[in-house]
Amino acid sequence: MLTKAVLLGLLSAIGYIDNYGPQIGMSNSLILGSLAGLILGDFKQGMIIAATLQLMWMGVVSIGAYVPPDTITGTILGTAFGIISGKGVVAGVAMAVPISLVCQQLSILLRTITISLTHKADRVAEEGNLDKIDKYHLMGGVIFGVGMFIPVFLAVYLGSEYVEKLFA
């Protein structure tokens, strides 16, 4: 399970780097859940759970200062626990929603940390150094990737029983 936990953690990191960087679609719930299913050896079930979560979270967007539930971590862990438990979509959705809400708080903490990058980018923009602006922008995705790798890795490695106890 260690290898699968590391791979799922890396998948979440890739999802966050994509979400805050190039945006090629890797942060999409259908893609993430399907890849999580592939990592866990049940691509079909991963796609079924991911499709359900994609429909559920289709309208979740960040407007203004609102930070939406964390659909990346919710999708990966919901899919993982749905497959690992053998209970499919029901368990996947039941776990994804509270996980995404808890990770929403972690996302707010990470946004607080990465705000310093915005100020640094402003300074280099005033200096006319456009190359550094890109670096600061992409560093935010890397910080989020590392910051969210940890809870995904721990949740999969420790198991759904441990995560359920956190919410009890």
C-alpha to C-alpha distance for 119 and 66, rounded to whole angstroms: 20
Amino acid identity, position 42 = D
The residue written with tokens 């979400």 in the block is 19
Distance separating alpha carbons of residues 97 and 112, to the nearest angstrom: 23
pLDDT at position 31, please? 95
Handedness of CA 13, 143, 26, 98 (dihedral sign): positive
Query: Which pLDDT score is estimated for 168?
Result: 64
Written as one letter, the residue type at 94 is A
Query: Per residue of the chain (168 residues), what is the pLDDT tens digit?
Result: 899 999 999 999 999 888 877 778 888 899 999 999 999 999 999 999 999 999 998 888 888 888 889 999 999 999 999 999 899 899 999 999 999 999 999 988 988 888 888 899 899 989 888 888 888 888 888 888 899 999 999 999 988 777 777 766
Domain segments of the chain as ranges: 1-167
User: Can you give the pLDDT at residue 149?
Assistant: 94
pLDDT of residue 21: 73
User: What is the Cα–Cα distance from 152 to 31, expressed in whole angstroms?
Assistant: 17
